Amino acid sequence: MNTLLVNSRGEPWTANGLSSSFGDARAALGLRAKRLHDFRGTYATELCLAGLTNQEIARTMGWTVGQVDTIRRLYVDEAAVMMAIGQRIAARVAVKGSVK
């Protein structure tokens, strides 16, 4: 198995080491109430707003499609998603139109 995250010594993080370092970074930024999972959830909602599908987000986050669907239903404004998709379409049309 390959190690994705390593500490400053190049060794795999221990559960306590990662939590401790995350806590230190969080405190330095003044983010007392945030946990690592809060940041992952925020990133997932940003991916929803960018117009990615639940399947694309699940693959990116290592979650199930059902987990992404729950995040989308609870935290994402569908009108904002539709606006983001419309902007992506408009940008593609503008690029294709300028090539002709």
9-61 confidence digits (pLDDT tens): 888 888 788 788 878 888 888 877 777 777 788 889 899 888 899 999 999 99
Residues 55 and 8: their CA atoms lie apart, in Å, by 34
Residue whose token pair is 């503008």 = 94
Domain ranges for the chain, please list them. 36-99
Q: Are 93 and 58 in contact (CB under 8 A)?
A: no
As a dihedral over the C-alpha atoms of residue 26, residue 27, residue 31, residue 37, rounded to 10 degrees, the angle is 30
For the whole model, what pTM was predicted?
Answer: 0.55
